[in-house]
Structure 1
Amino acid sequence: MEIGTNTLAGNDALGSATAPTLGDATSKTSQLSSDFEVFLKMLTGQMQYQDPLNPVDSTDYATQLATFSGVEQAVKTNELLDNLTSQMAIGGLTDLAPWVGREARSDAAVFFDSEPIEIFPKTMGLADSTEIVVRNAAGEEVQRMPYVAGSGPIIWAGVAPDGSPLPPGMYNLSSVGISNGEVIGEVAVETYSRVTEVRIADGKPVVVLQGGIVVPGTEITALRDGTG
């Protein structure tokens, strides 16, 4: 059964994701407070020791205060945005928690461990034929096979042209559209992979698939129960 909703968890990930943000925010606030005190002392000294025959215009004082106040407000705004971003990421992580142990569908690379894999080829409207191309982790083509448009999902057995099984590892599968003998396009093929972990990376929730393949949660197109 496919599900189109997003949901994730990981106490370790939460700690690593929020600590830098909170620390940076505290540092900014402390620095700003210190700078503001220095600024006030300088402003007081400027007023105290100004030339009585040529005093500084009160408008200049107001401008200086307004400028520093604007900087202070900007720092506080950035701090609030950082905290909000962290909270949103944590919320997304919590939503994705139930995905662990299930199978997620995406067009990312797939980990082959000698078990056949269901693949979902895509076809191009202008193509008169389609081929499935398989490449290993090094980008080398290891298999090419025809695909009949409209056939739906097929099973990839993971065998070389001579019939021998391909070694376990990471593979990229793509649909190649051909028209009049010329390649007109190539798109990644979608597959299902078991979700082993969910975590926050660069402030966003990501899904870790079997074999350590990391996919943004937004790039998962379907979800189903694991086949065991």
Structure 2
Amino acid sequence: MSDAPTTYTGAVKPGGPADVRELGGLTLTKVAVDAQMSNNCYLLRCRSTGEQLLVDAAAEPETLLPLVGENLATVVTTHQHWDHHRALADVVEATGAATLAGEADATAITEATGVPIARTLSHGDTVAVGDCTLEVIALRGHTPGSVALLYRDPEGTPHLWTGDSLFPGGPGRTTTPEDFDSIMSDLQEKVFDKLPDETWFYPGHGNDSTLGAERGSIPEWLARRW
């Protein structure tokens, strides 16, 4: 299997080096930006075509632009919160990348950044990265239009970029009981009930985890309501 080299840990910090992982068809580069918010940004590069997609142009274009170079086709913004799109305008201006975001969050992202969203995403859509395909999973609750991206590695385990909808230790922050019920329903029905324990997921802040490491804590999350 061509899954992760043992050197990849996913533990990155602002101002520190990126971490690189080679998947079956993708090279994943994870970098953290902004010392206060410590957002994760993920650059996905198709190993056969060189086409690239950035998950969340969160901040620090001076960090992101040297990482992506000029061959950036797409930026996916996982949700509308301000800390996940502060570098979007600069990255798009420098690269001409197409902008994608969840349908219910697209207007808010454009209002905050001045960047039009070229394509809105709904549950079940797909996004191409060269010869690779990412599946869109809508996870309502943290924001109305939050999306996750799933890559089913043909030579390894599934990989899931969750934005701020799922972290090691629980779901993303919600502000109403209805939003909590929504995010937990979507996580259970669309993620935990559909994907295996070995699925590796990459959140919008902090370290990575696997669904298997978190699955046993779902009753605790439901009981504590966060």
Higher relative contact order (CA 8 A, sep 6+): 1
**TM > 0.5 fold call:** no
> The TM-score by the shorter chain falls in which range?
under 0.3
Greater share of helix: 1
